[in-house]
Amino acid sequence: MATKIYIVYYSTWGHVATLAEEIKKGADAVTGVEATVWRVAETLPEEVLGKMGAAPAREDHAVISPRNLTDADGVLLGFPTRFGMMAAQMKAFLDATGGLWQSQALAGKPAGVFLSTGTQGGGQETTALTAVTQLTHHGMLFVPLGYTFGAGMFGVDEVRGGSPYGAGTFAGADGSRTPSEAELAIARHQGTYFAGIAKKLKAGATALAAEASASA
């Protein structure tokens, strides 16, 4: 069976949605992996979104419900920052996973994050760091990007989002900046790297289950 990777995001101006698509490309490059992009439900009224200049919702990405998470072998969560933490829309989605938390239905599943901030000091690391608490309470296995992208993580010749926690981009204070090729490359790498780890974990779990069944 294919290793299922769910890429779940919230995006205001489209930056995180763009990263999600690049991450999917990277994950799909791993043999035996099936990656799906989902979006979480919007919580703001259309009037407010219009005043913010928000991008239209990506109708090609289905809205996820908490119970869908149990079908995934690995989950990557993407969101813009709000004062150094994840946007309320993603937090609202995670707040609705109480039933999964109570049963620990997500325990042992690998998870990672990717994000967008307005400025260089806007929370590229703190937004990811504060998101880890959500994964911890679910017993999920946080898989950071580290410096696995090699030289692509060390360049200082251009403004670039992303960190050892996960892929990232800068939107600019008004959302006018789009993800750079360097940022998109890191996102694709995260998809490939994460999918490979999720695949190995699933294979290991399957082997252990088969061994336990044989010895029963």
**CATH, residue 193:** 3.40.50.360
Q: What share of the chain is helix, strand, coil (3-state, %, to 5)?
A: 45, 20, 40
- Positive or negative, the CA dihedral 22, 168, 36, 33 is positive
pLDDT digits (tens, 9 = 90+) for 57-99: 999 999 999 999 999 999 999 999 999 999 999 999 999 999 9
Q: Shortest CA distance to 6 belongs to which of 41, 33, 43?
A: 33
Give pairs for 60-65: CB < 8 Å, separation 24+.
Answer: 61/9, 61/17, 61/20, 61/37, 62/38, 63/38, 63/39, 64/6, 64/8, 64/38, 64/39, 64/40, 64/93
**What is the extent of the structural domain holding 198?**
3-215
pLDDT per residue as tens digits for the range 109-168: 999 999 999 988 888 999 999 999 999 999 999 999 999 999 988 988 888 999 999 999
